[in-house]
Amino acid sequence: MPAAKTAAALKGTKKSKKGTRIHTKTHFYRTKTLELPRKPKYASKSNPSMSRSEKFKVIKSPLTTESAMKKIEDNNTLVFLVDIKANKRQIKNAVKELFDITAAKVNTLIRPDGSKKAYVRLTTDFDALDVANRIGII
Protein backbone atom coordinates (compact mmCIF):
# COMPACT_ATOMS: atom_id res chain seq x y z
CA MET A 1 0.00 0.00 0.00
CA PRO A 2 2.67 2.59 0.88
CA ALA A 3 4.56 1.70 -2.31
CA ALA A 4 1.48 2.48 -4.38
CA LYS A 5 1.12 5.86 -2.65
CA THR A 6 4.71 6.82 -3.35
CA ALA A 7 4.40 5.71 -6.97
CA ALA A 8 1.29 7.86 -7.35
CA ALA A 9 3.04 10.79 -5.71
CA LEU A 10 6.04 10.44 -8.01
CA LYS A 11 3.78 10.24 -11.06
CA GLY A 12 2.13 13.53 -10.09
CA THR A 13 5.40 15.45 -9.68
CA LYS A 14 7.07 16.95 -12.68
CA LYS A 15 10.83 16.57 -13.06
CA SER A 16 12.60 19.86 -13.68
CA LYS A 17 16.15 20.41 -14.78
CA LYS A 18 18.35 22.13 -12.19
CA GLY A 19 19.49 25.50 -13.52
CA THR A 20 23.18 26.39 -13.47
CA ARG A 21 24.24 29.49 -11.59
CA ILE A 22 25.85 32.27 -13.57
CA HIS A 23 29.09 33.43 -11.96
CA THR A 24 29.78 37.11 -12.54
CA LYS A 25 33.12 37.28 -10.70
CA THR A 26 36.36 35.50 -11.48
CA HIS A 27 37.11 34.81 -7.81
CA PHE A 28 35.27 32.54 -5.40
CA TYR A 29 34.26 34.16 -2.11
CA ARG A 30 33.38 32.11 0.93
CA THR A 31 29.86 32.82 2.17
CA LYS A 32 29.31 34.92 5.28
CA THR A 33 28.54 32.67 8.24
CA LEU A 34 26.51 33.56 11.31
CA GLU A 35 28.53 35.41 13.96
CA LEU A 36 26.94 35.07 17.38
CA PRO A 37 27.50 37.81 19.99
CA ARG A 38 30.11 37.05 22.63
CA LYS A 39 28.99 35.76 26.01
CA PRO A 40 32.19 35.70 28.09
CA LYS A 41 32.26 33.64 31.27
CA TYR A 42 35.02 35.87 32.70
CA ALA A 43 36.57 39.27 31.87
CA SER A 44 39.27 39.33 29.21
CA LYS A 45 41.40 41.61 31.41
CA SER A 46 42.22 40.54 34.94
CA ASN A 47 43.04 44.13 35.93
CA PRO A 48 40.58 46.48 34.19
CA SER A 49 41.57 50.07 33.43
CA MET A 50 40.47 52.96 35.63
CA SER A 51 37.15 54.54 34.76
CA ARG A 52 36.87 58.28 34.15
CA SER A 53 34.68 58.99 37.19
CA GLU A 54 36.96 57.60 39.90
CA LYS A 55 38.15 60.98 41.16
CA PHE A 56 38.91 59.70 44.67
CA LYS A 57 41.11 56.95 43.26
CA VAL A 58 43.06 59.31 40.97
CA ILE A 59 44.24 61.81 43.60
CA LYS A 60 45.71 60.13 46.68
CA SER A 61 46.91 63.10 48.74
CA PRO A 62 48.34 66.61 48.49
CA LEU A 63 52.08 66.99 49.04
CA THR A 64 53.10 69.29 51.90
CA THR A 65 56.89 69.42 51.56
CA GLU A 66 58.85 72.69 51.60
CA SER A 67 59.40 72.58 47.85
CA ALA A 68 55.66 71.99 47.33
CA MET A 69 54.88 75.02 49.52
CA LYS A 70 57.30 77.11 47.47
CA LYS A 71 55.48 76.01 44.30
CA ILE A 72 52.15 77.09 45.83
CA GLU A 73 53.48 80.55 46.73
CA ASP A 74 55.63 81.31 43.67
CA ASN A 75 54.15 79.40 40.72
CA ASN A 76 50.41 79.14 41.56
CA THR A 77 50.85 75.35 41.47
CA LEU A 78 49.47 72.59 43.70
CA VAL A 79 51.38 69.32 44.13
CA PHE A 80 49.58 65.98 44.57
CA LEU A 81 50.46 62.32 44.86
CA VAL A 82 48.33 60.51 42.28
CA ASP A 83 47.58 56.98 41.12
CA ILE A 84 50.40 55.49 39.05
CA LYS A 85 48.02 54.64 36.17
CA ALA A 86 46.30 58.05 36.06
CA ASN A 87 47.00 60.23 33.04
CA LYS A 88 47.08 64.03 32.86
CA ARG A 89 43.49 64.36 31.62
CA GLN A 90 42.18 62.22 34.49
CA ILE A 91 44.19 64.27 37.02
CA LYS A 92 42.88 67.54 35.54
CA ASN A 93 39.26 66.30 35.70
CA ALA A 94 39.65 64.94 39.24
CA VAL A 95 41.05 68.26 40.50
CA LYS A 96 38.17 70.10 38.82
CA GLU A 97 35.53 67.81 40.38
CA LEU A 98 37.06 67.59 43.86
CA PHE A 99 38.20 71.15 44.48
CA ASP A 100 36.11 73.22 41.98
CA ILE A 101 39.20 74.71 40.32
CA THR A 102 40.42 74.68 36.74
CA ALA A 103 43.96 73.60 35.96
CA ALA A 104 45.91 75.38 33.25
CA LYS A 105 48.27 72.43 32.84
CA VAL A 106 49.45 69.29 34.59
CA ASN A 107 53.02 68.02 34.78
CA THR A 108 53.71 64.53 36.11
CA LEU A 109 56.72 62.52 37.17
CA ILE A 110 57.41 59.13 38.69
CA ARG A 111 59.28 59.40 41.98
CA PRO A 112 62.13 57.02 42.88
CA ASP A 113 59.85 55.28 45.40
CA GLY A 114 57.48 54.36 42.53
CA SER A 115 54.64 56.80 43.22
CA LYS A 116 53.49 59.43 40.74
CA LYS A 117 53.63 63.15 41.54
CA ALA A 118 51.50 65.72 39.71
CA TYR A 119 52.17 69.45 39.51
CA VAL A 120 48.80 71.13 38.84
CA ARG A 121 49.22 74.70 37.57
CA LEU A 122 46.07 76.72 38.24
CA THR A 123 44.57 79.30 35.91
CA THR A 124 45.05 82.98 36.73
CA ASP A 125 41.50 83.36 38.11
CA PHE A 126 42.38 80.97 41.00
CA ASP A 127 44.96 81.57 43.73
CA ALA A 128 46.82 78.43 44.81
CA LEU A 129 47.32 79.80 48.34
CA ASP A 130 43.56 80.24 48.87
CA VAL A 131 42.84 76.79 47.43
CA ALA A 132 45.55 75.21 49.62
CA ASN A 133 43.97 76.83 52.71
CA ARG A 134 40.54 75.56 51.69
CA ILE A 135 41.83 72.01 51.11
CA GLY A 136 43.80 72.01 54.35
CA ILE A 137 47.35 71.79 53.04
CA ILE A 138 48.45 74.91 54.91
pLDDT digits 0-9 by tens, 38-59:
999 998 888 877 676 688 999 9
Averaged pLDDT score across all residues of the chain: 90
What is the structure's pLDDT at 1? 65
* pLDDT tens, residue by residue, 63-105: 999 999 999 999 999 999 999 999 999 999 999 999 999 999 9
Q: Give the three-state DSSP class for 103.
A: strand
Q: Give the three-state DSSP class for 106.
A: strand
What is the structure's pLDDT at 91? 96
Question: What is the DSSP code (8-state) at residue 87?
Answer: -
Proportion of the chain in helix, strand, coil states, percent, rounded to 5: 35, 20, 50
* Cα distance between residue 30 and residue 34, in whole Å: 13
Q: What ranges do the domains of the chain cover? A: 55-135
**The whole model's pTM is what?**
0.66
Residue from 93, 67, 89 nearest 78 by CA: 67
What is the structure's pLDDT at 120? 98
Q: Which residues pair with 61 in a beta bridge?
A: 81
Q: For domain 55-135, give its CATH number from 3.80.30.10, 3.30.70.330, 3.60.21.10, 1.20.1090.10.
A: 3.30.70.330
